Amino acid sequence: MEHAPLPIIDLGALLGSPQARTEQLALLRRTAREVGFFYLTGHGLEAAALAAPLALGERLFALPAEQKRAVAMLHSPHFRGYTGFGAELTRGRPDQREQFDIMNEGQALAEVRQPWQRLIGPNQWPERLPELRPLLLGWQSRMGQIGSQLLAAFAEALGQSPALFHDNLSPEPYLHTKLIHYPGVSGGERQGVGAHKDPGYLTLLLQDSRGGLEVEMNGQWVAVPPLPGALIVNIGELLELASDGYLRATLHRVVSPAAGIDRLSCAVFMAARLDTEVPLMALPAELAALAEGPQSDPANPLFTQVGDNVLKGRLRSHPDVAARHYPQPAAA
């Protein structure tokens, strides 16, 4: 197993002096094309703020089973709430993790014209942990702000206006947060999360000190150790689509920890507003010559309509929720 750290991008430098910005933009463009993952420092989050989501996640997953089942995702047509071990699938195989999902807080639409509109709605919150709601929504909002700054930098790095994604994201982007617990296993199935690409623009990941994340580079799985104080960022399918494949969403997975060790993480997936289309970049000639188009996978088609792309991933990952709330129309 090769073991190598990711490149480090300094958000403060991206927002700083012209010379620092120029250097960081060049590094961002190269990193996103060649690796697709990077550590993010200079984000302004103190150690206490970084520790809070995982500490509260540990309390959440320690709740009695009946309290977690009371907010099970199966109750929500909006794919919000608790999912137990093995209930989420990646490429058709069960992941060995439990998790708690939230998205933008809202009200379900009275009239639904498109299936993806059913993603809009309220989150579920466990009654015994009232502090979870303000903390997790606050964290999600902060990650959305950082993600918006990064998208502006990506656009600039690829010769576009920094405002390219502004209308696509305003008044707020689609955000999806997962608190995740990976239990230790002894032998057998070690698929914490199977190999996959993320469906949005960007993912911002906070992980504890245990490790387990792996990224595919040049046909090899490379371990991504935690870097204290840093977030991990990866590009998703929508950014690959927007750049005509110049930027690549990268396969990644999580290997379950060994027996007796638990791993916690908090991932925020950021996409555009669900009712928008992905803006397609008119790349400068020297970059366009290197763009090979987004990768085509018949089992995982890419849609420029954001809501369709997001719903596709939810239906595939949670077949139990899909079967209950998104039944297929009867054959004629």
Give the Cα separation of 76 and 306 in Å (integer): 21
Segments making up each domain of the chain, as ranges: 2-325
CA distances from 231 to 38, 40, 173, 227, 257 (A): 8, 5, 20, 8, 20
Question: Where do we find the tokens 């085509």?
Answer: 296
Check: CB of residue 139 under 8 Å from CB of residue 51: no
Residue 332 confidence (pLDDT) = 33
| pLDDT tens digits, one per residue of 120-164 | 999 999 999 999 999 999 999 999 999 999 999 999 999 999 999
Residue 93 confidence (pLDDT) = 84
Q: Which fold has domain 2-325?
A: Jelly Rolls (2.60.120)
List average pLDDT for each run of 10 residues in the chain, which is 332 residues long.
69 92 94 92 96 97 96 97 89 88 96 94 97 98 97 96 94 95 82 87 95 90 92 94 92 90 96 94 94 75 87 90 81 36
In this structure, the strands spanning 98-103 and 174-182 are antiparallel
Check: CB of residue 303 under 8 Å from CB of residue 241: no
Give the Cα separation of 168 and 250 in Å (integer): 23
Residue 330 confidence (pLDDT) = 41
- Cβ-based neighbour number of residue 35 at 10 Å: 18
Check: CB of residue 302 under 8 Å from CB of residue 200: no
Residue 298 confidence (pLDDT) = 67
Task: Read off the DSSP letter of residue 157.
Answer: H
How big is the CA angle at 181 (ends 176 and 185), to the nearest 5 degrees? 140
